């Protein structure tokens, strides 16, 4: 992919991914309706702590911070303080993964300094792992999988240098899922061995159930009309619009098959979808931003609700895919994670 130097603006996609307007490519005639094509690499990294430190804190922000610093240190050869002035800005692994400038002659988000990143880090919300180790899930999106070795090595280095409050960690192994949601995991790395990553697989949704429940497992931060969506104001369309927009951008910037579908029609149908058995609440969470040198409020919605899919099956592939790319603000650090279960009718 060819790149050009971007001009920094005050708006950053990562800081507010839900307030973007649609940047539609001019298409004459009817839209071609298709399901989204988005290859994902799903990885599970197992870390061990020599000190046996445990925590109930959410460590998504901590992991994202140490990962970014380690990746830049690993791959940067010019040691420039700011990447956007570097002559390698458009060809270096670090900016592509962690800053993700828009490509040359982009028709979407042309004025943005940063577009959606090709990774998601996800840790348990309570900081705990079932086996007592510290587990980190990593999703690489589209072409981001070409950087898998760099990303995993950077996470290994970051862990060895220490993740607050866990201290130094040792990478014990890496597994990769054969396809998102398959539940089949293969060991692709053990300490001292080579990384044998599998090819990423496009997400294929199973047949749409009649009734599902969506469980919001980490705070979901959605903006609508210049404010965050509260539990009292939440509607299904708030979530679906964000997923559709995010999937569209991810396919455009990180695959060779940008999504072309009836965006307006899908959004219109999402507004007609009701939800039931709704149990939602706002959960506060604060993180410290090293870049901004201040604490940031990052609360969002947690809980769950039920949705009947009869008559809206064309929305289903996006809902299914969203489980691994997440939704809302802070997706790369693990916010906006949800899980779908089928219910009996």
Nearest to 302 by CA among 221, 192, 190, 191: 221
Cβ-defined contacts of 223-227 (< 8 Å, 24+)? 223/16, 223/18, 223/19, 223/329, 224/18, 226/19
Q: What is the pTM of this model?
A: 0.88
Place of tokens 């901590």: 62
pLDDT score for 326: 98
Q: Between β-strands 338-342 and 211-220, what pairing exists: parallel, antiparallel or unpaired?
A: antiparallel
pLDDT of residue 104: 86
pLDDT score recorded for residue 132: 60
Check residue 193 and give its pLDDT.
Answer: 79
DSSP reduced 3-state for 157: helix
Over the chain (345 residues), the average pLDDT of each successive run of 10 is 31 37 34 78 93 80 96 96 92 97 91 95 78 87 97 97 92 96 94 87 96 97 93 97 98 96 96 97 83 78 97 96 97 97 93
Output the pLDDT for position 262: 95
State residue 328's pLDDT score: 97
Report pLDDT for 258. 95
Phi-psi region of 191 (alpha: psi -120 to 50; beta: other; left: phi over 0): beta
Using the structure block, give the residue that is written with the tokens 């981001």. 144
- What sign does the CA torsion over 244, 18, 181, 308 have? negative
């Amino acid at each position: 992919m060819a790149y050009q130097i971007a001009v920094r603006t005050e708006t950053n996609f990562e800081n507010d991914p839900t307030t973007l307007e649609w940047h539609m490519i001019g298409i004459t005639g009817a839209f071609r309706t298709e399901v989204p094509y988005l290859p994902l690499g799903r990885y599970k990294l197992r870390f061990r702590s020599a000190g046996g430190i445990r925590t109930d804190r959410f460590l998504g922000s901590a992991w994202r911070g140490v990962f970014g610093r380690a990746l830049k240190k690993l791959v940067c050869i010019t040691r420039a303080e700011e990447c956007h002035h570097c002559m390698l800005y458009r060809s270096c692994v670090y900016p592509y993964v962690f800053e993700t400038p828009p490509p040359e002659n982009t028709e979407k988000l042309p004025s943005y300094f940063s577009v959606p990143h090709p990774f998601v880090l996800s840790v348990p919300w309570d900081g705990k792992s079932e086996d007592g180790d510290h587990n980190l899930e990593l999703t690489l999106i589209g072409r981001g999988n070409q950087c898998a070795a760099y990303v995993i090595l950077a996470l290994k280095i970051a862990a060895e240098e220490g993740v607050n409050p866990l201290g130094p960690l040792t990478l014990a192994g890496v597994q990769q899922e054969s396809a998102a949601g398959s539940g089949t995991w293969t060991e692709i790395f053990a300490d001292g061995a080579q990384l044998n990553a599998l090819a990423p697989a496009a997400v294929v949704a199973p047949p749409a159930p009649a009734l599902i429940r969506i469980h919001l497992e980490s705070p979901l931060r959605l903006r609508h009309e210049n404010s965050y969506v509260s539990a009292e104001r939440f509607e299904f369309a708030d979530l679906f619009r964000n997923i559709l927009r995010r999937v569209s951008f991810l396919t455009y910037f990180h695959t060779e098959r940008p999504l072309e579908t009836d965006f307006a029609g899908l959004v219109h149908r999402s507004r007609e979808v009701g939800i039931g058995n709704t149990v939602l609440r706002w959960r506060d969470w604060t993180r410290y931003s090293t870049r901004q040198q201040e604490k940031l409020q990052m609360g969002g919605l947690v809980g769950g609700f039920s949705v009947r899919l009869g008559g809206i099956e064309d929305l289903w592939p996006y809902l299914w895919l969203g489980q691994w790319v997440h939704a809302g603000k802070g997706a790369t650090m693990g916010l906006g994670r949800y899980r779908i279960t089928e219910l009996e009718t």
